[in-house]
Amino acid sequence: MTSTSDDLATFIVVANRLPVDRVVNEDGSIDWTTSPGGLVTALEPVMQRKGGAWIGWHGAPDETVEPFHHEGYDIVPIPLSAQEVTEYYEGFSNASLWPLYHDCVVDPEFHREWWDSYRTVNTRFAEEVAKRAAKNATVWVQDYQLQLVPRMLREARPDLKIGFFLHIPFPPIELYQHIPWRGELVDGLLGADLIGFQTPGAAHNFARLAHHRDGVTGPDDSDDIATLSDGRVVKIKDFPISIDARGFHELASSPQVHQEAEEMRTELGNPSTIIFGVDRLDYTKGLRQRIRAIGELFDEGKLDQEDCVFLQLATPSRERVEEYKILRNDIDLLVGRINSASDTLARPRIAYRHTSVPRSTLAAMYQIADIMIVTPLRDGMNLVAKEYLACRDDDNSALILSEFAGAALELDEAYMINPYDIDGMKATIMKAINDSPQARAQKMRAMRQQVFAHTIDDWADSFLTELGE
């Protein structure tokens, strides 16, 4: 671990979490390893080229970690107290904003102390950026946990170029108005020069709100620029995020992953059809609906458990938030019920794992998945759908995709479902299984082309180019 350079940074990424995980070695010494993820892969070269810094929380409450230099750029940890984790992160970010921005699929809770904590933590982030940014530096703020940072920074450092990208959906004005502090949040975002969203619909929802703020003119349907009362211009635009498609493809093509895939298929009993789902265990991902639909298909004999397995992997997520505890119990119960109705001891209908796996294991799972099923009730983009396409070697496979995922706009050749319509979903699952190889291949080819033509690098480049202009 080396200390940070004394130079101020000309490019800064600000996100709730740092791009590194702490590893404690056997001798008690500490290392930091880069967390695998598209965002880090895309931004690392920019940070190294420009002399950058990444500012974010290191993941341990009540602990201060000194800044350090890592893989060519500076890592600046922001401390959070245990109470702030409860109020700012689990509370306002994940029990107020997250459900509200996902169409209120569960009821958002609003508490004034959560909001106070959100403001306090956003202020801490903004102050750290203001201290570390070189004159005229570019700052890119990420996601819903930090929506007040752009305005706070603008006030402290008017020389900076400030971009903001929202990874999750942005809701319609009718839902947004529920938030007691809606005006402050919108003004927070309007501190940026460029505000990016996953889809044109999300950008449009925000533009409608911005338009209602005092002194803001535009944007209207024909233009993506809002002009504030002081004459400053804010661009509002969609930048659909993507993945490192070539990286995923190379990984999936490696002999080790092929071997792992073969062993997995054997372990699952060599069924002729494997249906696969992988998600963070989150109520927005439509897991209850998906499992119910597949369970009914087994009960009705349309799926034969001698011949078909549903493999579902769920990453543990936000486990202290009440709705996530309820979801975990519901899924355990649902899977248990469906498997206990099985008429053979040999193989479960659903192979369910509640765990995170290494990227290579995930790539092996994509390889054995004849049918990939992605059913969110609402999702900003959904990278799983894109990763599946990048990992496939053959065309005799199928992607079932919710029309409520941002990815549905680009991947419109998928077998599209409405996750609220269980019968419709069941019919589409059977169609995806029974369609002709030609029909499936034509869809897979079109979607793969789309994923390889629009990668995470293109996403980062287009955002930063627009911000620089």
Q: Which is nearer to ligand ADQ, 152 or 350 (CB)?
A: 350
User: What Å distances lie between residue 225 and 165, 189, 220, 230, 440, CA to CA?
Assistant: 16, 14, 8, 14, 41
Query: What would the DSSP string read from start to end of 52-93?
Result: EEEEEE-S-TT-----EEETTEEEEEEP--HHHIIIIIIIII
Q: Which is nearer to ligand ADQ, 106 or 303 (CB)?
A: 106
Reading the block at residue 63, the tokens are: 């602990």
Distance CA 324, CA 315 (A): 12
Q: Which is nearer to ligand ADQ, 278 or 311 (CB)?
A: 278
Distance CA 342, CA 189 (A): 52
Interface residues toward ligand ADQ, by CB under 6 A: 167-168, 241, 278-280, 313, 315, 356-357, 362, 379-384, 387
Distance CA 227, CA 217 (A): 5
138 DSSP assignment: E
Residue with tokens 């909001």: 115
Please state the closest distance from residue 280 (CB atom) to ligand ADQ, in A.
Answer: 5
Please state the closest distance from residue 81 (CB atom) to ligand ADQ, in A.
Answer: 25
> How many H-runs (helices) and E-runs (strands) does the chain carry?
17, 17
Give the residue among 80, 93, 95 at the shortest CA–CA distance from 18.
80
Please state the closest distance from residue 166 (CB atom) to ligand ADQ, in A.
Answer: 9
Q: Which is nearer to ligand ADQ, 356 or 434 (CB)?
A: 356
Q: Which is nearer to ligand ADQ, 8 or 409 (CB)?
A: 409
Please state the closest distance from residue 402 (CB atom) to ligand ADQ, in A.
Answer: 11
Q: Which is nearer to ligand ADQ, 219 or 406 (CB)?
A: 406
Query: What would the DSSP string read from start to end of 248-263?
Result: HHHHHHSHHHHHHHHH
Burial class (CB in 10 A: 0-12, 13-18, 19+), 103: middle
381 close to 102: Cβ distance less than 8 angstroms: no
376 close to 404: Cβ distance less than 8 angstroms: yes
Please state the closest distance from residue 92 (CB atom) to ligand ADQ, in A.
Answer: 17
Q: Which is nearer to ligand ADQ, 229 or 254 (CB)?
A: 254
Please state the closest distance from residue 238 (CB atom) to ligand ADQ, in A.
Answer: 12
145 close to 318: Cβ distance less than 8 angstroms: no
Q: Which is nearer to ligand ADQ, 278 or 414 (CB)?
A: 278
Please state the closest distance from residue 26 (CB atom) to ligand ADQ, in A.
Answer: 25
Please state the closest distance from residue 247 (CB atom) to ligand ADQ, in A.
Answer: 12
